[in-house]
Amino acid sequence: MIRFQEDIYLLLQWLKKGKTHLSGEELSSKLKLTRSALWKKINFLRELGYNIDGQRSRGYMLIDTPDIPYPWEIDLEKSSLWKELIYFKEIGSTNTFAYSLAEEGAKEGTVLIAERQTGGRGRLGRQWHSPPKGNVYMSLILRPKIPPYFAPQFTLAAGVGVADSIRKVSGVTPEIKWPNDILLGRKKLSGILTELKSEMDRVSFIIVGIGVNLNSGLDDYPEQLRDQITTLMAFTGKRFNRNQFIKVLLDCLEGVFNLLLKAGFGAIKKRWEEYFCMKGEDVIISFERGILRGKALGIDESGAFLLRRMDGNVERVLSGDINFLRSI
């Protein structure tokens, strides 16, 4: 687990500013460190993947910064929501870890990001395959003062935030499949798993877990998944700077959560419908105890899915797995 470290942040600031070598003497006096403490920090950064040239006569120069979301690489200063970023090289599931941190009192706006997950979880008890190499596995701790039945609205809002960020960085407009699968070319690019702890009338916290297949190749996934999923790189043929994407994503998410709290769900619903790809389509919904068929109408004012059955009755659906009928 890697948390923000002020001295590492400051050292990197100097190294990033310096277009040439900075002497060890200069750096250690600027940072008020002994020469050997400075040397240890330079080595720590090298172990994390920073390419730092060191020459006895000239000092240190940063050659290359890895595209890894270390807490000091993602600036949260300008945000009024995001407070702390914690990075994991490997974890079971960021959602599971975030849940226990939240139970221990972690503050709202804590962001967990992992390079890879060994036990990534999806909706409906499914597995979320989480290979390393440039994807995003992120969990957010939120503590909105709302009753539990408003929580699904946060999931739908998060879907809009993810779709906005994909559009912003790639110029490609994704689609949303209810409740919040983000699709490109009808294949899954991103999924959201929201979990909450609540009392009868008030949420204590919500964990919004977001997985985005950003830079992995399709061959990083098991064969049986390859025709159902896509990655932004596979779809566009381009590699995306992950740290840049994470900044845009956090920004877009803050935007939609603020919109939800200030303007209400109506404003999110309108934005969500711009991305919704099932309106008017024949769909099939699978539940634990059976299936339903009908026409997708959209969502209602609480975020529930509306399905027109063959007999004309409209059914409100609160959970389940929806698919296009023709793709079955």
Residues of the shown chain interacting with ligand BTN in the complex, contacts defined by CB under 6 A:
93-95, 117, 120-123, 126, 128, 137-139, 181, 191-193, 209-211
We find the least distance from the C-beta atom of residue 131 to ligand BTN, in angstroms, to be 12
We find the least distance from the C-beta atom of residue 98 to ligand BTN, in angstroms, to be 8
CB-nearest residue to ligand BTN? 191
Output the six-digit token pair for 209: 């877990």
> Which C-beta is closer to ligand BTN: that of 7 or that of 175?
175
We find the least distance from the C-beta atom of residue 74 to ligand BTN, in angstroms, to be 16
> Which C-beta is closer to ligand BTN: that of 28 or that of 139?
139
286 neighbors 242 (Cβ within 8 angstroms): no
Report the residue count for the chain.
328
C-alpha radius of gyration, the chain, whole number: 22
We find the least distance from the C-beta atom of residue 39 to ligand BTN, in angstroms, to be 36
Nearest of 175, 277, 170, 180 to residue 232 by alpha carbon: 170
> Which C-beta is closer to ligand BTN: that of 41 or that of 121?
121
We find the least distance from the C-beta atom of residue 257 to ligand BTN, in angstroms, to be 17
The Cα–Cα gap between 154 and 62 comes to 41
> Which C-beta is closer to ligand BTN: that of 41 or that of 123?
123
We find the least distance from the C-beta atom of residue 133 to ligand BTN, in angstroms, to be 15
The Cα–Cα gap between 249 and 260 comes to 16
> Which C-beta is closer to ligand BTN: that of 50 or that of 99?
99
**If you search the block for the tokens 């997985």, which residue do you land on?**
211
Residue 74 vs residues 1, 87, 245, 287: alpha-carbon distances, Å: 16, 11, 10, 40
Range 58-86 burial, b when 16+ CB lie within 10 A, else e: ebbbbeebebbbbbbbbebeebebbeebb
> Which C-beta is closer to ligand BTN: that of 210 or that of 249?
210
